[in-house]
Amino acid sequence: MISEEIEKLLNEGASKAGYEEKLSVSFSNMPKLCDYQCNGCFALAKKYSKKPFDIASEIANSIEQSDLFEFDVAMPAFINIKLTDKALSKIANEYLNDEMGGVEKHKERQKVILDYGGANVAKALHVGHLRSPIIGESLKRLYKLMGDDVIADVHLGDWGLQMGLTELQLYEDGVLDYYFKGEGEEPVITLDMLNEAYPKASARKKDDEKFKEEADAWTLKIQNKEQPYYSIYKKIREVSVKEIKKHYGELGATFDLWYGESDAAPYIDRAIKIIEDKGLTRESDGALVVDVAVEGENIPLPKKSEDEEQRYKNPMPPAILKKYNGGVLYATTDIATILMRNEMYKNVDRIEYIVDMRQKNHFVQVFRVCKMSGISPEEQELLHIGYGTMNGKDGKPFKTRSGDTIKLEDIINMLVEKAGDKLKSNGVEYDRDLALKIGVAAMKFGDLINNVDKDYVFDLDKFISFEGKTGPYIQYTAVRINSILNKANLEGGEFFISNDEEREIIRSILKLNSSYEICYKEKSLSSLCSATYNLASAFSTFYNNHSVLNESNINIKQSYISLLRLVKNKLKQALNVLAIEIPEKM
């Protein structure tokens, strides 16, 4: 890495000047002045009671001269480092011949399970299931690029009350007569039936206590695998999963495991026994619970309460393992899933959950129970990566005009339609696959450029623009480079810097490369998105000022071709992590 090379020279110089403390460099705050800077002389000055500027000068003067880096001292006491053209050219040629384009894998490989997607069986996919597959897919690709061994699990919600509610509603609507009354033919359960049954049942349960109890009982029968409840459930699951696979596929999210909560069912009794054996459970109103509160910790209630002060004085509620009727809940299946994962895969270093921030307390409860009981070994990291809400332009969670939650399918259709319009106005023939690629890129980039934990506004017109910080702009840049390379049909040669715009491009590549590590640490793709945009934009400036195809000097032309290939590789690598495809044309 360049920064490491610079640090080596710097520290040799410091040591010659009599300072053994390790100095480090970072990207310059003033890119016009220099490329890297070292701020370490201030701390040395304190320690040695000398003037910071004097120390900086002593060190800079002791650094061995090189034709790659220029070391300079600037007020009050910075050591500034500039890369020479020779260095910039050397870096570019090295990156061109490196499979990773200069991005370094971690020396230690971690085993990671990523839990994202999380769609619920029997319920229509809605906007709440959009961010998780987008962020999760990109984190998976990032971790893999950096050398981790990653297993992606979609963890479908398929073992909760919605199953009982949906089945009971279908029964009441007469769809299930074949099973319960032995009448007619075996029904084919369709997606439309589910899309009608669940919302109806869900609305009813709110003010029909009897119906809710009945649905609880049906859910329990399914969980106990009683017939015909269980086999009907299997059919509902099948129809639902097919739909979920289709939409997640369109978003480019792929999973190694298509498990759901139900797959953890065989581990539930054992998980509960482990927790009971540790003496962690107690009974509360017929339910089986585990206290996880920590002394002095206050959990703000989600909603405003009458007594505002009281709102901030609440302990973490206990985790509920079993309901009054013996049914299991969301926390139970999550705990059992951790047991399952640890038995199926040995030595898992981290399990990360990409789930709405509003589920924070749920994960605190689950993680505490797993740590207290030893279901998750001490050294294993359990992490909830909570994401913010996607809002409409009014700043409130994105809804349809009538105030309903938006279905994922509708969002995908909106993306395709908008991208299709854009293509048409650019004179490109409409093609759904092409429009989907562009629409999805717009959505993903518009999402990922924000820090994961921040809310953001879904502004499709802005996201879809072919200019500015958008997915389509970067796609467009890549398409344009491909087209120039095809037209030129020329082997690249040794790259050498011949203008300022090229310097800017190589500098953006250095920053892009370092953004991978930043994203890895922050568990957010925001830095990568910005750095990718900056590279695309540096390329556009170059392209507007220099004609690659009309260049008459063959050495320069071949050097340009190499530069284009490098930029193309770097954009491709970044877009691959962002799970954005490069279209053939735009």
Which residues contact ligand ARG by CB under 6 A?
115, 118, 120, 155, 157, 334, 353, 355
Nearer CB in complex with ligand ARG: 155/570:
155
Return the structure tokens found at 503: 């310097």
> Which residues on neighbouring strands pair with residue 79, listed in sequence order?
38, 73
The three state secondary structure string of 128-149 is HHCHHHHHHHHHHHHHHHCCCE
Q: Cβ of residue 260: shortest distance to ligand ARG, in angstroms?
A: 9
**Where in 30-157 does DSSP place strands (E)?**
36-38, 69-74, 78-83, 111-115, 149-153
Secondary structure of residue 97 in the 3-state scheme: coil
Cα separation, 510 vs 132, in Å, equals: 29
Contact between 459 and 483 (Cβ < 8 Å): no
CB of residue 390 vs ligand ARG: minimum separation in angstroms? 15
What is the nearest approach in angstroms of ligand ARG to the Cβ of residue 524? 18
* Residue 66 DSSP symbol: -
Which one, 409 or 517, has the nearer CB to ligand ARG? 409
Q: How far is the CB of 546 from ligand ARG (least distance, A)?
A: 50
DSSP letter for 403, please: S
User: Could you write out the three-class secondary structure of 274-336?
Assistant: HHHHCCCEEEECCEEEECCCCCCCCCCCCCCCCCCCHHHCCCCCCEEEECCCCCECHHHHHHH
> Which CB sits closer to ligand ARG, 13 or 157?
157
Compute the least distance from the CB of residue 120 to ligand ARG, in Å. Answer: 5
Nearer to ligand ARG by Cβ, of 113 and 412: the residue is 113
Q: Interior CA angle at 83 toward 79 and 88, to 5°?
A: 160
Q: Which two tokens stand for residue 507?
A: 């500098």
| CB nearer ligand ARG, residue 126 or residue 205 | 126
Q: In whole angstroms, how close is the CB of 339 to ligand ARG at the nearest point?
A: 13
Nearer to ligand ARG, 132 or 450 (CB): 132
Q: Specify the residue, 353 or 398, whose C-beta has the smaller distance to ligand ARG.
A: 353
**Counting beta carbons within 10 angstroms of the beta carbon of residue 211, is it exposed (0 to 12), middle (13 to 18) or buried (19 or more)?**
middle
Minimum distance of ligand ARG from residue 177's CB (angstroms): 31
Tokens of 37: 């800077």
Residues 292 and 319: beta-carbon distance below 8 Å: yes
Least gap, CB of 155 to ligand ARG (angstroms): 4
| Pick 118 or 471: Cβ nearer ligand ARG | 118
Residue 328 CB, nearest approach to ligand ARG (Å): 13
CB of 320 to ligand ARG, least distance (A): 15
Residues with Cβ within 8 Å of 435's Cβ and at least 6 positions away in sequence, in order, are 415, 416, 417, 419, 420, 423
Q: Which of 17, 383 has the CB closer to ligand ARG?
A: 383
How many other C-beta atoms lie within 10 A of the C-beta of residue 231?
12
- What is residue 152's three-state secondary structure? strand
Q: Dmax over Cα atoms in the chain, in whole Å? A: 95
Complex with ligand ARG: residue 162 or 558, whichever CB lies closer: 162
Nearest CB to ligand ARG, comparing residues 118 and 472: 118
Minimum Å gap between C-beta 356 and ligand ARG is: 7
Three-class SS of residue 525? coil
> In this complex, which beta carbon is closest to ligand ARG, that of residue 133 or of residue 157?
157
Helices (H), 146-262: 161-172, 177-180, 191-207, 209-223, 229-250
- Smallest distance from the beta carbon of 579 to ligand ARG, in angstroms? 19
Residue 424 to residues 338, 417, 421, 434, 478: CA-CA distances in angstroms?
Answer: 49, 11, 5, 12, 20
Q: Produce one character per residue of 299-319: b if its CB has 16 or more CB atoms within 10 Å, e if not.
A: beeeeeeeeeeebeeeebebb
Paired tokens of 536: 């695309």
Q: Which is nearer to ligand ARG, 115 or 447 (CB)?
A: 115
Residues 6+ apart with CB under 8 A from 154: 116, 117, 118, 119, 244, 248, 255, 257, 258, 259, 260
Q: Minimum distance from CB of 277 to ligand ARG (Å)?
A: 24
